[in-house]
Amino acid sequence: MSSSIASIDACAAHYGADEQAMRDYLLAGEEKALAMGNRGPVRFDDDGNVHPDILSAYDRYGFYVFTGVLAEDELADLRADLEDIQDRLPTARGAKTDRAGRPALSTGCKSKTLQWARPLSDPLGGTKLLDGRHQVKLHEPSAASDAPAEVVYVILGSLQFSDACLRTYGHPDLLRVAAAVNGDDFVPFNDVLFIKDPGLGAAVSWHQDGITHWDNPALDGGTHGFNFMAQVYGSTAVNGVWVVPGTHKMGKVDITQLVAAAGSERLQDAVPLICNPGDVVICNRQLVHGSFANTGFERRVTVNFGFHRRASVEGVTANGMNGEGKSYDADWISKRSRMIPLAVSARSQRFDDQSPYTYAPLSDTEDTPRWDNHNPPDLTDYNLLDLYI
């Protein structure tokens, strides 16, 4: 999916004197992204391993666009769940009910689940939030006069709110990629929905996701893991994530210096993640990445879920989204990892024509989780066990 010229023009018009520069930047970025050699279906070699060309391109650029991963029936399931989720959101920050007067989504959750922002704002840029990793503030266009005061732009712990998201989490090809990148004993990170509605969607300032290992002498290009970004409606230069290829191998990057060198927030060498509905991006968490406020016409909703190397998290103490520092011991990791076979089981009952993935660390346990459509487990607050590094 490429951005429509109308959407690019609408976006650029919000940048005042930089309108033409922004328009040129969006078009050039899209052209560069589509010309890179890191796009195509998930492929395997004759031995059933993820094709080495994919792993090589991912290692080089820090991301790869897997095309056509989610079929139309799965996209329909996701869209239905997303509509239900948005119907159940609180009417405002702190409200306990949705617009129909029902208990709002996340009512009763102990974990942080909903992140709010003013329409088209950059709520994290230039702040100390999340360890101050969003070093600069991006341009904040003016929203329409009838826009709501705030919108939910991130939903954490998404698997407890959507069976369809849980099933996507158990996708066999994606889990095989996870094992190829992080080893058969890979472990979860977190699970998030990013919502970028046109005219409302907030910006996410340029940043790197890693927190804990930047000074570790064993740091390499994969230490902080990766995210899968499944696109429900597609992703464009206007509403999508932009990345700076190769920065996952540069250690901790001074983003203020990158912006100064570029002369603006339009970082040199950055490209957008251009996707059709059903495409899934694997994106290294150490890449410099961000997204502009969605002043275009297309909606983006990303089903985001990440994985780590076990060696990167076991025995590590870190601050997560939900409180004080926690030490990730083997028991913590095992409990959080149970979401993987549970998702595989749920998926196998919806898509019984696919060969389910076998998650090696929990394959031999007698109490391996199984999904029951008639009596589904309570997943409330499972994300208190998320593994942030």
Report the predicted TM-score, pTM, of the whole model to 2 decimal places: 0.96
Q: Which of these ranges, 5-9, 54-58, 75-79, has the smallest mean pLDDT?
A: 5-9
- Quote the number of domains for the chain: 1
Long-range contacts, stretch 95-98, CB < 8 angstroms, 24+ apart: none
Q: pLDDT value at position 322?
A: 57
Domain range for 162 is 5-385
Q: What is the mean pLDDT of residues 274-288?
A: 98
Nearest to 62 by CA among 271, 277, 365: 271
**Residue 272 bridge partners (DSSP):** 242
- The position carrying tokens 């490209």 is 271
- The answer to whether 103 and 97 have CB atoms below 8 angstroms apart is yes
Residue 261: CB atoms within 10 A of its CB come to: 10
CA dist 187 and 44 (Å) reads: 22
% of the chain beyond a pLDDT of 90: 91
Sign for the CA dihedral angle at 225, 230, 235, 240 comes to negative
Which 8-state DSSP code applies to residue 195?
A: E
Q: What is the pLDDT of residues 298-349, one digit of tens each?
A: 999 999 999 999 999 999 998 776 556 789 999 999 999 999 999 999 999 9
Top pLDDT among 317 and 282 is at 282
CATH code, domain carrying 222: 2.60.120.620
**Residue 291 bridge partners (DSSP):** 204
% of the chain beyond a pLDDT of 70: 99
Q: pLDDT value at position 3?
A: 83
Q: pLDDT value at position 267?
A: 97
Q: What is the pLDDT of residues 90-99, one digit of tens each?
A: 999 999 999 9
Q: Which of these ranges, 192-206, 236-250, 318-332, 369-383, has the smallest mean pLDDT?
A: 318-332
Give how far Cα 141 sits from Cα of 14, 280, 344, Å: 6, 29, 42
Q: What is the per-residue DSSP string for 257-318?
A: HHHHHHTSSS-TT-EE--B-TT-EEEEETTSEEEE----SS--EEEEEEEEE-HHHHTT-EE
Q: pLDDT value at position 130?
A: 85
Q: What is the pLDDT of residues 201-232, one digit of tens each?
A: 999 999 999 999 999 999 999 999 999 999 99
Q: pLDDT value at position 323?
A: 56
